[in-house]
Amino acid sequence: MRSILRANALVIALALLVSSQVLAQGANVTGEWAFTVTTDQGAGNPIITFKQDGEKLTGKYAGQLGNADLTGTVKGAAIHFTFTLDVQGQQAPVTYDGTIEKNTMTGKMDIGGMVNGTFTATKK
């Protein structure tokens, strides 16, 4: 009976160890994502391509507002990235903050503190 209890305890301990290692690795968003963005100024469907190296994030934004290189971070299930767009001759910083769940993400975005919105995205 004790050997069965020890074996069960070992299996549980190994399962917890593997689970904690998987959670510590966080999400991997490398690849192309189709976004749906809704703001108080309208909606759009940009395509964003990410390259993730650990927590570091780089990539490209391509949408109605133009094209831009982006930088950011992925920490666990949290994603944060920024880029700058030229809007009518003015440089506008764009910030996205969201949560990743498998091949989808949701969150909020902001354009220069003047336009706010929400987004959903699906990995292609």
In whole angstroms, what is the distance from residue 35 CA to residue 40 CA?
17
- With beta carbons less than 8 A apart as the criterion, state whether 51 and 58 touch: yes
CA distances from residue 61 to 9, 23, 89, 113 in whole angstroms, order as listed: 48, 28, 18, 19
pLDDT at residue 25 in the model: 54
In a domain, 11, yes or no: no
Q: Which domain holds residue 103?
A: 27-123
In a domain, 16, yes or no: no
In a domain, 5, yes or no: no
| CATH code where residue 114 lies | 2.40.128.120
- With beta carbons less than 8 A apart as the criterion, state whether 73 and 57 touch: yes
Burial (CB count within 10 angstroms: exposed 0-12, middle 13-18, buried 19+), residue 57: buried
pLDDT at residue 74 in the model: 98
In a domain, 13, yes or no: no
* Residue ranges for the chain with pLDDT beneath 50: 5, 7-11, 13-24
pLDDT at residue 89 in the model: 87
In a domain, 38, yes or no: yes
